[in-house]
């Protein structure tokens, strides 16, 4: 189970939980292993079984150790229970029950099919790994990723308003990767009017994200969107509200389970003030502006003790990555939301 948890942490946070799986022979040898790489890609159990076959091993009568109860529904992929049955697995050990209503009940289904199922080992660590995903699901709102690109002194634009480009090409390519992972990408009306973004995801990366996915493009705010705006067209939504909770409720009802908040700074700060950000990717360039628009305005901190000290997050990606001269920090929120 420890190895399955290590594999789970290699995955991608968002619409689905982080899950890892290991296939064991009767004498305890590892036959194969895998993890879930993101929405639309194989779940951990099928990935581990496929790796077992690629290694030339037979999964029949094996034990599959997985960090989450196998799913029992058809979504973008077949039910894991079906894959396990067809592979001839003898025993399944899982850490925690699946809390997702339509996917739950996998263990009971497998028992009825004659497969032994044991739950509980590694439960505390597995729950901690996915606590923000679980909380978002329980709250019936999308899992929220926020992204910011800023100078060394925390500015997202120079005093004259120019902001393209603070970071370099490689950092921006990684930002497009984040867009491809999300169900929807959200900006404020101020960013729309200033930059007229397309919010499309370029530089496809088949290794981590299935091709052909196109995120919903969302603008939040009361300002009317120009008819010729670059982001208009199929898959465009305007949320005529400034309330974060209302926006999240509307998007959840439209099927959004993973939302990327990409800017600008006032919208990002609104989500931070609401306690609605589940992870933060901060791209920092070795550039000093001295003045200009701050990355996170109006958070209400009057002293150091009022500030929120975010925590480096190793799960779902490295806590620190270099992209040429730029760096990317992967952070989780402090307190109950990220503890």
Task: Check the annotation: does 282 bind a ligand.
Answer: no
For residue 210, pLDDT over 80 is answered with no
Is pLDDT larger for residue 135 or for residue 75?
A: 135
C-alpha 282/C-alpha 147 separation (Å) is 6
Q: For position 226, what pLDDT does the model report? A: 76
Residue percentage of the chain with pLDDT more than 70: 91
Give the domain CATH number at 29: 3.40.140.10
C-alpha 262/C-alpha 15 separation (Å) is 17
The residues, ordered by sequence, that sit 6+ positions from 216 with a Cβ below 8 Å of its Cβ are: 183, 184, 185, 235, 236, 237, 251, 254, 256
C-alpha 107/C-alpha 97 separation (Å) is 8
Task: Check the annotation: does 189 bind a ligand.
Answer: no
What 3-state DSSP class applies to 200? coil
Short-list 19, 6, 262, CA closest to 133: 19
Task: Check the annotation: does 265 bind a ligand.
Answer: yes
What is the pTM (predicted TM-score) of this model?
0.80
Domain termination site, one of 82, 99, 129: 129
Q: For position 213, what pLDDT does the model report? A: 54
Same domain, 98 and 160: no
Task: Check the annotation: does 90 bind a ligand.
Answer: no
CB 62 within 8 A of CB 30: no
Query: Which tens digits make up the pLDDT trace of 63-92?
Result: 999 999 999 877 667 899 999 999 999 999
Same domain, 68 and 99: yes
Q: For position 337, what pLDDT does the model report? A: 44
Same domain, 148 and 125: no
Alpha-carbon dihedral 87, 90, 92, 93, rounded to 10 degrees: -140
Q: For position 199, what pLDDT does the model report? A: 74
CB 283 within 8 A of CB 176: no
Q: Which of 101-105, 201-205, 209-213, 250-254 has the highest mean pLDDT?
A: 250-254
Task: Check the annotation: does 202 bind a ligand.
Answer: yes
Same domain, 209 and 326: yes
Q: For position 277, what pLDDT does the model report? A: 94
Q: For position 103, what pLDDT does the model report? A: 59
For residue 196, pLDDT over 80 is answered with no
**Phi and psi dihedrals of 96, rounded to 5?**
-135, 155
Domain termination site, one of 129, 146, 180: 129
DSSP string, 289-334: -SSSEESS------SGGGS---EE--TTS-SEEEETTEEEEEEE-S
Q: For position 191, what pLDDT does the model report? A: 77
C-alpha 175/C-alpha 147 separation (Å) is 8
For residue 218, pLDDT over 50 is answered with yes
Farthest CA pair distance, the chain? 69
Same domain, 173 and 237: yes
Q: For position 35, what pLDDT does the model report? A: 95
Same domain, 62 and 143: no
Average pLDDT, the chain: 86
Domain, as residue range, for 192? 135-337
Same domain, 183 and 110: no
Range in 147-151, 161-165, 167-171, 210-214 with the lowest mean pLDDT: 210-214
Query: Which tens digits make up the pLDDT trace of 24-58?
Result: 999 999 999 999 987 778 999 999 999 999 999 99
Q: For residue 28, how far is the Cα from the chain centroid?
A: 33
Task: Check the annotation: does 43 bind a ligand.
Answer: yes
CA-CA distances (angstroms) from residue 85 to 63, 67, 107, 245?
12, 18, 12, 42
Is pLDDT larger for residue 134 or for residue 286?
A: 286
Domain termination site, one of 129, 155, 186: 129
Give the domain CATH number at 305: 3.40.430.10
Same domain, 121 and 141: no
Short-list 23, 25, 62, 63, CA closest to 46: 23
For residue 181, pLDDT over 50 is answered with yes
pLDDT band (50, 70, 90) for residue 101: low
Pairing of strands 143-150, 279-284: parallel
**Number of independent structural domains in the chain:** 2
Q: What angle do CA 77, 39, 85 make, to 5 degrees?
A: 30
Same domain, 88 and 227: no
For the chain, report the end-to-end CA distance as a whole number of angstroms: 22
Same domain, 149 and 280: yes
Q: For position 19, what pLDDT does the model report? A: 94
Task: Check the annotation: does 117 bind a ligand.
Answer: no
* Active centre residues (catalytic): 45
Q: For position 203, what pLDDT does the model report? A: 55
C-alpha 327/C-alpha 182 separation (Å) is 22
> How confident is the model over 129-136, as a mean pLDDT?
84
Task: Check the annotation: does 133 bind a ligand.
Answer: no
Q: For position 338, what pLDDT does the model report? A: 43
Task: Check the annotation: does 303 bind a ligand.
Answer: no
13, with CB counted inside 10 A (0-12, 13-18, 19+), is buried
CB 157 within 8 A of CB 164: no
**Residue 1, CA atoms < 13 Å, CB-side half-sphere:** 17
pLDDT band (50, 70, 90) for residue 212: very low
Q: For residue 6, how far is the Cα from the chain centroid?
A: 17
Same domain, 327 and 180: yes
Joined together, the tokens standing for residue 253 give 């009802």
Please state whether 177 falls in left (phi above 0), alpha (psi between -120 and 50) or beta: alpha
pLDDT band (50, 70, 90) for residue 316: low
Q: Which of 110-119, 219-228, 296-305 has the highest mean pLDDT?
A: 110-119
Same domain, 183 and 105: no
């Amino acid at each position: 189970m420890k190895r399955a948890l290590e594999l789970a942490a290699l995955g991608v946070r968002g619409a689905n939980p982080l899950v890892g799986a290991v296939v064991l022979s009767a004498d305890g040898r590892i036959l194969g292993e895998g993890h879930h790489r993101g929405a639309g890609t194989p779940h951990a159990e099928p990935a581990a079984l496929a790796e077992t076959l690629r290694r030339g091993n037979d999964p029949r009568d094996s034990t599959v150790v997985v960090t989450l109860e196998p799913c029992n529904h058809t979504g973008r992929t077949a039910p894991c229970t079906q894959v396990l049955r067809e592979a001839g697995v003898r025993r399944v050990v899982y850490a925690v029950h699946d809390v997702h209503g339509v996917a739950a009940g996998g263990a009971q289904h497998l028992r009825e099919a004659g497969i032994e199922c044991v739950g509980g080992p590694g439960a505390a660590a597995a729950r901690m790994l996915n606590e923000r995903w679980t909380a978002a699901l329980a709250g019936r709102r999308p899992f929220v990723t926020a992204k910011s690109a800023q100078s060394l002194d925390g500015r997202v634009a120079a005093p004259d308003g120019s902001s393209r480009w603070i970071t370099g090409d490689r950092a921006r390519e990684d930002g497009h990767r984040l867009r491809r992972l999300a169900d929807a990408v959200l900006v404020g009306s101020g960013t729309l009017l200033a930059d007229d973004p397309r919010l499309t995801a370029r530089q496809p990366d088949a290794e981590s994200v299935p091709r052909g996915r196109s995120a919903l493009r969302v603008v939040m705010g009361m300002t009317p969107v120009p008819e010729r705006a670059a982001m208009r067209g199929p898959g465009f939504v305007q949320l005529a509200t400034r309330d974060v909770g209302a926006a999240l409720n509307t998007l959840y009802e439209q099927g959004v389970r993973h939302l990327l908040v990409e800017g600008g700074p006032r919208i990002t700060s609104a989500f931070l003030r609401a306690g609605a950000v589940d992870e933060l990717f901060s791209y920092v360039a070795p550039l000093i502006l001295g003045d200009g628009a701050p990355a996170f305005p109006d958070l209400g901190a009057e002293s150091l003790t009022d500030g929120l000290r975010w925590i480096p997050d190793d799960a779902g990606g490295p806590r620190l990555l270099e992209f040429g001269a730029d760096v990317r920090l992967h952070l989780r929120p402090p307190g109950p939301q990220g503890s």
